Structure 1
Amino acid sequence: MTIRLTEHRLFKSILTGFLSFTLALLILFYVNAIISSSGSYPTSLRTILSLSSTSSTIVELPSASERCRQLLGADDILVIVKTGATALRERLPVHFQTTLQCTQHYVVYSDMEEEFEGHHIHDVLSGVSAEMKKSAPEFKFYRDLHENRDRVTEFMREDASVQRKAWRLDKWKFLPIVERALQAKPNAKWFMFIEADTFLVWSNLLKWLSQLDSGKAYFLGLPVTMEGQLFAYGGAGWLLSQPAIQRMTHHMASQDDDYEHFTNKTSFGDLVLGYVLEQAGLRLTGVWPLIQRETPSTMEYTKDLWCYPVVTFHHIDSPDIKSIWDLEQEWLADTQATLLHFDIFNHLVYPRLATKIDDWDNFSHGEEVVLTSDEGFEDCKLLCEKDVLCMQFRFTPKKCTMSHAVTLGWKADPSINSISGWMMERITQIKASVRCEGEKWISID
C-alpha cells in the first residue's frame, strides 16, 4: 500500500512538473513573439493569449491601417490626389496600399473619368469651357486620350512624347481641382493637395494641423518664385484651410473666363494657382522642411534639418513609399512618436552609405578641385579629410567635388566613371550626437 501511494505521489509530481514546464514554454513563446515584433504588427490582426490558471482571454491588436485610421483629426481633412490617366496605373496602387488606407476622406482627380482598382477617378477637366477645350492646344491630347480610353496603356507606348503632352495638359487641373475639392467635402477644415508621386506622412500631418487654427485663412506650401510670381510648388503638396478655399472659390466664381485665358498663356499650373490665390487676398506661407520637394535619397541632411518632422516627399517611387510608410507604422505601433527627418536618415539613408561606391552620384556640390590625370579617388578622399567639415565627396576623372551636407544620391551612368565616398566616422559621430528636444514645427502667425 505504501509503495502504491508513493508511486501515486511520484506520478502527480511528474504530471505537475510537466504542466508547469508546458505553461512556462507557452509564456516564453508569447513574450518572445511580442519582443521580436519590435512594436510593429502585420497587416492582419495579431491575437495574443492571456494565460491564467482560471481563464483565457483573446486580445486583438489593431492592424497598421486600423491604427492610422484611428488618429485624432482625420475626419476634418480631405486629401486630394491629382494625377493623369497615363500615370495613375503605375503610381496610384501603392497609395491605395499605404497612406490612403489611413485617410477617412480622399478623392482622386485626373484627366479622364474611370474606375481603377475599385476606386472612382474623376475627370477634373470636364468643367473647362467648350471654347477653351477647342482652342487651347493642350486639349488635343485630352481628346486623343478619351478617344483611346480603352487602350490607354497601349496608347502610352505608341508615342514617346505622351508624358510630355500629359504634363502640359496638367496645368489646367489646378484651378478646377480647388472648386471640386470644396464640393467633395464642404465641411472639411483642411484640404491637402498632393500628386501621385507625393508621399504624405499622414500621422505627422494630423499632429501639425492640430496645432493650427483652422478658422484662419491659410495657404501653406513650399515657396517657389518664377516669372515674378510667388507660388507653392505643386509636387511637394499644398494646404488650404476652410476659410482660404472659400475665399478663393468665391473670388473665382466671378472671374472664370479671365482665369481660363490666364491659364492658357501660362506654362505652370501651380504658378496660376499662386496668382489666383494672391488676387483673392491669400499669400503663401512657406513651411519647409515639413513640406518639401526631395526624396530621402536626394535630401541634403545637415544639423539644421534633423529635428523637423517630415510631412511630404516628392518624386518618390513605389518601393520608397512603402519603406517610409512601414517606418511610420512602426513609430505609431511603438510610441506614436513624431517621425523626424533624422529618423528617415537614421533608418533609410545611413545604412546605405559607405566609404566608397562605384558608379554612384551622391550629389556633392561644394568645393571643386581640379585633379591631374594621375590623381584618383584616394587623392579626392584625402582632400575631403583635410576639411574638417567635409562629409562626403565625389570623384570623376580630373575632378573632386566635396560637400558639407550628407546626401545618398543614386546610381550614375557607368560611362561617367563617377565614384562617391562618405566620411563614415564623422557621419557616425554626428548621428550619435543628435538630440532632439521636442519637435521643431513651423510656427505660423
Structure 2
Amino acid sequence: MTNRLTDLRLFKSILAGFLSFTVVLLILFNVNAIISPTGSYPISLKTIQSVSSTISTTVELPLATERCRQLPGADDVLVIVKTGATALRERLPVHFQTTLQCIQHYVVFSDMEEEFEGHYIHDVLSGVSAEMKKSAPEFKFYRDLHENRDRVTEFMGENAAVQRKAWNLDKWKFLPVVERALQAKPDAKWFMFIEADTFLVWSNLLKWLAKLDWREPYFLGQPVTMAGQLFAYGGSGWLLSRPAIQQMTHHMASQNRDYEYFTNKTSFGDLILGYVLEQAGLGLTDSWPLIQRETPSTMEYTQDIWCYPVVTFHHIDALDIKSIWDLEQEWIADVQAPLLHFDIFNQLIYPLLATKIDDWDNFSNGEEKALAPNEGFEDCKLHCEEDVQCMQFRFTPKKCTMSHSITLGWKADHSINSISGWMMERITQVKARVRCEEEKWI
C-alpha cells in the first residue's frame, strides 16, 4: 500500500483532473443520450424537509434497467454527490444518465441552491455561521456566486483563478455534507460520499456492503497521510455506516464553532473530515484497491489487484463513465459476479495496448537507462527485453524508463518526443494465467 501513495502517484492523480484526453477518447461510444439528460431527483429525497426547498418536480427518474434499480440492499444506502456550481454543469449530466439511474436514494450537495435540468441541488454551505461567512476569505467567492447566480457560466471555462477559488471553497463542504446526509435519510444503513468526477460501481458497492455489519461504526476509504494526519482521500469516495455518522454528528454537536475555526485555518477538506472523525473516536479502514483514486488508464495493473472488485474510480470524464457503466450493465445482466480490476483491464485497457505508440506516456516509472544520442526506441525495447519482469517501457531522447506493472497512460505533447511500448507477448501470457476463483474484498 505504501508504494501506492508516493508523491509521484499523487502528482499523477492530481494532474489527471486537469487533462481532458484519456484512454476513452480512443474509443467510439454512442453518447448522444448523455448530451441532453432529463429526469428528476428521487421522490424519496425530495419530500425530506431538512434538505428540501421550494423547488420541486413531479417528473420521475427514468429507469436504467429493472436489474440495476432493484439490486439487493439498494434501499439501505444513501449516495451523496458533493460538487460545486461551477463544475456541476459539466460533470453531473452523465451521472444522471448512467449510475444515478440505478440508485434509489441520492442527494446532490453544492455551494448554491438551484434546480439543474430537473434535478434539485442543495446548498450545503447554507448552515455555516454568518460570522464565518463574513470573515473566511473563501466565502467571497461564495457571495459572488450567489449575487451572480444567473451568470454562473461566466465563472466556468479555463479560468484557473476561478477554479482555484472554487477548490478553496470546497473544504467547507466536508463537515456539513456529513451532517446533512444523516438528515436526508436517517434510516439509511450506509452513506456513500462521492464527488462529481468520481465513478461509483453501484452493483459492487452493494455486494461489498452485504459482507459488512452496518451496525458497526465503519469509516472506509483510501488512506492518505498529510501533516501527520491520516484521512480518506476525498476524490476516491468514502463510506460511513449509520453508527459512525451518528457518532460523528453527536461529537460535533457541541463543537461546531471550534471546528469552523479549525476548517478556516486548514487547507484540505478531506483532512479536516479525517481529523474530526478521529476526534470522534472513529478509525479509518483501508479500502484500497476497492476505493482508489485512479482512472482505468492511470491504474498500475499488477497481480496484487487483479482479483479485487472495483468500487470507485476518480478523475473520470463523461466518456470514461459511459464506457465503464455500459460494462457494468453487461456484468449485471450476464455475469452477475463482481466487476473486477482484471475485467476492467481485459475489456477496456488491454485492447488499446500496442508494441509502440508515438507521442504517448505510459507512466513507466521504474528502472531508468541512459541512452547514447544515437540510440532510440528499439534500443530501449532491448533493455526491457533483458529484464524478464519488464512489462512496458517509455523512450524519450537519451533516456529509457521501464516498469514491471502495466499502465495505459495518456497522450503526450509532441514536442517531448515520448514513445511508449508494451511487451505484448508477456502481457498476453500474464493475462491468460489470471484466475480469480474467489473475488477479494476488504
TM-score (norm 2): 0.85
Tell me whether 1:145 sits opposite 2:142 in the alignment: no
CA distance in 2, matches of 1:373, 1:164: 41
CA distance in 2, matches of 1:64, 1:194: 20
Q: How far is the alpha carbon of 1:65 from its aligned partner?
A: 2.9
Change (3 A) 1:158 1:406: closer
Q: How far is the alpha carbon of 1:335 from its aligned partner?
A: 2.6
Structure-to-structure mapping, 1:22-171, within 5 angstroms: 64-157=64-157, 159-171=159-171
Q: Please name the residue that 1:377 is paired with.
A: 377
Q: How far is the alpha carbon of 1:64 from its aligned partner?
A: 4.5
Tell me whether 1:215 sits opposite 2:181 in the alignment: no
Q: Please name the residue that 1:196 is paired with.
A: 196
Change (3 A) 1:381 1:159: closer
Structure with the larger RCO, 1 or 2 (CA within 8 Å, 6+ apart) = 2
Change (3 A) 1:210 1:158: closer
Partner secondary structure for residue 170 of structure 1: helix
Q: How far is the alpha carbon of 1:155 from its aligned partner?
A: 3.0
CA distance in 1, matches of 2:63, 2:218: 34
CA distance in 1, matches of 2:323, 2:335: 19
Letter of the structure 2 residue corresponding to residue 165 of structure 1: K
Change (3 A) 1:133 1:412: same
CA displacement, residues 57-103 of structure 1 (integer Å, 9 cap, x when unaligned): xxxxx974321011000000000000000000000000001110011
Partner secondary structure for residue 289 of structure 2: coil
Q: Please name the residue that 1:361 is paired with.
A: 361
Q: Please name the residue that 2:394 is paired with.
A: 394
Q: How far is the alpha carbon of 1:337 from its aligned partner?
A: 1.5
Q: Please name the residue that 2:412 is paired with.
A: 412
Partner secondary structure for residue 84 of structure 2: coil
Contact 2:193 / 2:238 at 8 angstroms: preserved in 1?
A: yes
Tell me whether 1:288 sits opposite 2:288 in the alignment: yes
Tell me whether 1:176 sits opposite 2:176 in the alignment: yes
Q: How far is the alpha carbon of 1:278 from its aligned partner?
A: 0.4
Q: Please name the residue that 1:302 is paired with.
A: 302
CA distance in 2, matches of 1:97, 1:122: 20
Q: How far is the alpha carbon of 1:269 from its aligned partner?
A: 0.4
Partner secondary structure for residue 441 of structure 1: coil
Structure-to-structure mapping, 1:240-389, within 5 angstroms: 240-389=240-389
Q: Please name the residue that 2:29 is paired with.
A: none
Partner secondary structure for residue 436 of structure 1: coil
Letter of the structure 1 residue corresponding to residue 152 of structure 2: V
Letter of the structure 1 residue corresponding to residue 412 of structure 2: A
Letter of the structure 2 residue corresponding to residue 406 of structure 1: I
CA distance in 2, matches of 1:294, 1:158: 23
Contact 2:393 / 2:422 at 8 angstroms: preserved in 1?
A: yes
Partner secondary structure for residue 191 of structure 2: strand
Gaps of 5+ in 2: 1-32, 35-61
CA distance in 2, matches of 1:281, 1:165: 32
Letter of the structure 2 residue corresponding to residue 265 of structure 1: K
CA displacement, residues 8-57 of structure 1 (integer Å, 9 cap, x when unaligned): xxxxxxxxxxxxxxxxxxxxxxxxxxxxxxxxxx99xxxxxxxxxxxxxx
Contact 1:132 / 1:260 at 8 angstroms: preserved in 2?
A: yes
CA distance in 2, matches of 1:65, 1:199: 18
Q: Please name the residue that 1:433 is paired with.
A: 433
Partner secondary structure for residue 302 of structure 1: coil
Question: Deviation above 6 Å: which 4+ runs of structure 1?
Answer: none
Partner secondary structure for residue 156 of structure 2: helix
Contact 2:197 / 2:316 at 8 angstroms: preserved in 1?
A: yes
Contact 2:63 / 2:102 at 8 angstroms: preserved in 1?
A: no
Letter of the structure 1 residue corresponding to residue 338 of structure 2: T
Q: CA-atom RMSD, angstroms?
A: 1.4
Which of 1 and 2 has greater Rg?
1
CA displacement, residues 143-195 of structure 1 (integer Å, 9 cap, x when unaligned): 11111110111232494411110000000000000000000000000000000
Partner secondary structure for residue 428 of structure 2: helix
Letter of the structure 1 residue corresponding to residue 395 of structure 2: F
CA distance in 1, matches of 2:345, 2:149: 42
**Bigger mean CA deviation after superposition, 160-169 or 191-200:** 160-169
CA distance in 1, matches of 2:415, 2:157: 28
Structure-to-structure mapping, 1:222-233, within 5 angstroms: 222-233=222-233
Letter of the structure 1 residue corresponding to residue 402 of structure 2: M
CA distance in 2, matches of 1:349, 1:158: 29
Q: Please name the residue that 1:23 is paired with.
A: none
TM-score (norm 1): 0.85
Contact 2:63 / 2:69 at 8 angstroms: preserved in 1?
A: no
Partner secondary structure for residue 183 of structure 1: helix
Letter of the structure 2 residue corresponding to residue 65 of structure 1: T
Q: Please name the residue that 2:15 is paired with.
A: none
Letter of the structure 1 residue corresponding to residue 381 of structure 2: K
CA displacement, residues 344-379 of structure 1 (integer Å, 9 cap, x when unaligned): 000000000000000000000000011010000000
Contact 1:64 / 1:329 at 8 angstroms: preserved in 2?
A: no
Partner secondary structure for residue 355 of structure 1: coil
Letter of the structure 2 residue corresponding to residue 430 of structure 1: V
Letter of the structure 2 residue corresponding to residue 137 of structure 1: P
Q: How many residues align?
A: 383
Contact 2:64 / 2:101 at 8 angstroms: preserved in 1?
A: no
Letter of the structure 2 residue corresponding to residue 290 of structure 1: L
Contact 2:298 / 2:408 at 8 angstroms: preserved in 1?
A: yes
Partner secondary structure for residue 216 of structure 1: coil
Contact 1:148 / 1:155 at 8 angstroms: preserved in 2?
A: no
Letter of the structure 1 residue corresponding to residue 89 of structure 2: R
**Bigger mean CA deviation after superposition, 193-202 or 65-74:** 65-74
Letter of the structure 1 residue corresponding to residue 408 of structure 2: L
Partner secondary structure for residue 161 of structure 1: helix
Change (3 A) 1:366 1:253: same
Q: How far is the alpha carbon of 1:436 from its aligned partner?
A: 0.5
CA displacement, residues 188-218 of structure 1 (integer Å, 9 cap, x when unaligned): 0000000000000000000000000000000
Partner secondary structure for residue 230 of structure 2: strand
